[in-house]
A and B are shown apart, each in its own frame.
Chain A
């Protein structure tokens, strides 16, 4: 039986299971979520109102045995940016959706009676709407435990914490991973969209699924073997990421002068060594944690980890570079264990690490806390954000809004979304991605750091403008396509440097569906996705004038290279000329 579209209407608590329209057939992941959002959501709608929709879609290869294919995409109009959003996540949801035959889950409407929160339980032929008063006011791990007590242990769980219930723009959606920890649809305030629809959690039945059908199993197996080998033999995906995690980046980005420090005042942090990946790996070794943990089944990279405290007691997992940067260099905290404690708290509450960390970095300028005061940062999250005090609501509304309320100028956002862990003035290709991606400032949309700093896919000088627009465009097209396959973004490292990698990926898609797409088709898919997303944003009011870096970066020189953002508007607008 072929895959189907599951459509849920929260306005009257009904559902339908539909055939896949011909135009959506070859799409998955981001390609499918953005296509559905663009065709069904009014770009002018209020993101928290009845006319926004949430669209979940596993990637084209999710649910198969292909390595690293377990990413699930979620699309909607973002309440943070006001534009289209796709946020993808590891965890177990993509594989289980695929095995159940769910090509996409579309959730529309808002209940007439907003006094209750619901659990949606998706099974092969049914969607149950269950009122969950016992989960209201609780956070993600409480919800996860309740669902694991109720269903088969493999059940997929997607949930929001209290900030999501309160529709805060820093709230995300948490997803159970294979070890029973949490991963996140992190960015763009999608937890608020789920909260607005009065959905506390979504569970997907794993007791009753079947394996996905492969059109040409032999061809699939052969291609899959080549692909896995490319991942394992690449020095980044095969050695560096398993050994040090994504946090290996602290030192190299710091050395290059591109580590945003104390709300983007410098490109180097004097305590980088305290928080770097090498220190983290040493701590894990000494304290009995685990440096290798996959965020989804079938991951051969294993960049995640379990991080314990000095007494060997569990502190957190999925401890990523962007989180450690946001609270480390950007907020000036030099105690890695304290950052880990904050990470675990934010997982439980369901908060975007980047948006929350950048907002707190800006809150120093507002006089709310001091740089390096991790205890105060912890309290602001645990007490103010979690309880929705007026100050918690301000911080929970993200950096752009906090900046406006406190009359601040140095506000590091693009399309109202916080700029992540790479300085656009010192890593200019990445800056081009921040200003042009339809997602708002997002590092994963086109990871030019690879070619500006890491010598992956060649080298383009990070401090010069030449070649950056073209680099970012090529990477954004490729990323949009990869985000449609269900593949983890880190397959990009072997794909950039190993000629066997990308053809093997395409062969797997062809063998899965019995089709014959080419590399050109994949690039065209990426281009179409970007154009579809851009067209939505233009109708939502996010035109060229929103493709801009915060003005202070144009006149404030960033040490140590003393560089400013020096692109003209015309140079940036050239991005969309393809």
Chain B
């Protein structure tokens, strides 16, 4: 098992959480975490970062990773 910090932002926080330490099976893909949390049902993933770097949903999580999930956001 591995420890992963999951951060959610914008609409993804509604009825969920801002940040949580979670335990996952080794070899888990980012897409499986997205599926488990159900965040992408209403609003697709806009940006996925692991340890402050953009990654794809096929990324395989490692011990201690910080994964951050955002719907499409913008401003300026």
Contact = CB atoms under 8 A, between A and B. Distances in A.
Interface string A235-264: 111011101111111011001110000000
Tell me the dominant secondary structure on chain B's binding face. mixed
A365 B18 CA distance: 34
B53 to A, nearest CB: 8
Contacts of B43: 235, 239
Nearest to A258: B52
Contacts of B6: none
A489 B74 CA distance: 11
B2 interface: no
Contacts, number: 95
A295 interface: no
Given A243-B11, A278-B10, A459 B75 contact: no
A244 B7 contact: no
A278 B75 contact: no
Given A273-B18, A454-B46, A246 B76 contact: yes
A240 B52 contact: no
B52 A489 contact: no
B68 A255 contact: yes
B73 interface: yes
A461 interface: yes
Nearest to A426: B52
Given A240-B74, A241-B75, A252-B73, A455 B7 contact: no
Contacts of B26: none
A288 B41 CA distance: 29
A528 B43 CA distance: 39
A322 to B, nearest CB: 8
Query: Which interface class (under 10, 10 to 19, 20 to 34, 35 or more) fits A?
Result: 35 or more
A336 B70 CA distance: 22
Nearest to A462: B54
A444 B76 CA distance: 7
A569 to B, nearest CB: 28
Tell me the dominant secondary structure on chain A's binding face. helix
B40 to A, nearest CB: 12
B49 interface: yes
Nearest to B42: A239
Contacts of A303: 75
Query: Which interface class (under 10, 10 to 19, 20 to 34, 35 or more) fits B?
Result: 20 to 34
B13 interface: yes
B72 interface: yes
A455 B43 CA distance: 15
Contact of B52 (A246, A256, A443, A490): A256
B76 A252 contact: no
A314 interface: no
Interface string B29-56: 0000000000000011011010011100
Interface stretch (A28-36, A387-395, A445-453, A529-537): A445-453
B9 A252 contact: yes
Interface string B53-74: 1100000000000001011111
Contacts of B75: 240-241, 245-249, 277, 303, 320-321, 490
Interface of B: 7, 9-11, 13, 18, 43-44, 46-47, 49, 52-54, 68, 70-76
Interface of A: 234-237, 239-241, 243-249, 251-252, 255-257, 273, 277-278, 303, 320-321, 443-444, 447, 449-450, 453-456, 459, 461, 463, 489-490, 493, 560-561
14 contacts: A234-B72, A236-B72, A239-B11, A240-B75, A244-B73, A247-B75, A248-B10, A252-B9, A252-B47, A454-B46, A463-B53, A489-B76, A490-B74, A561-B52
Q: Which 6 A-B pairs have the closest CB atoms?
A: A246-B75, A236-B74, A235-B72, A249-B75, A240-B73, A257-B52
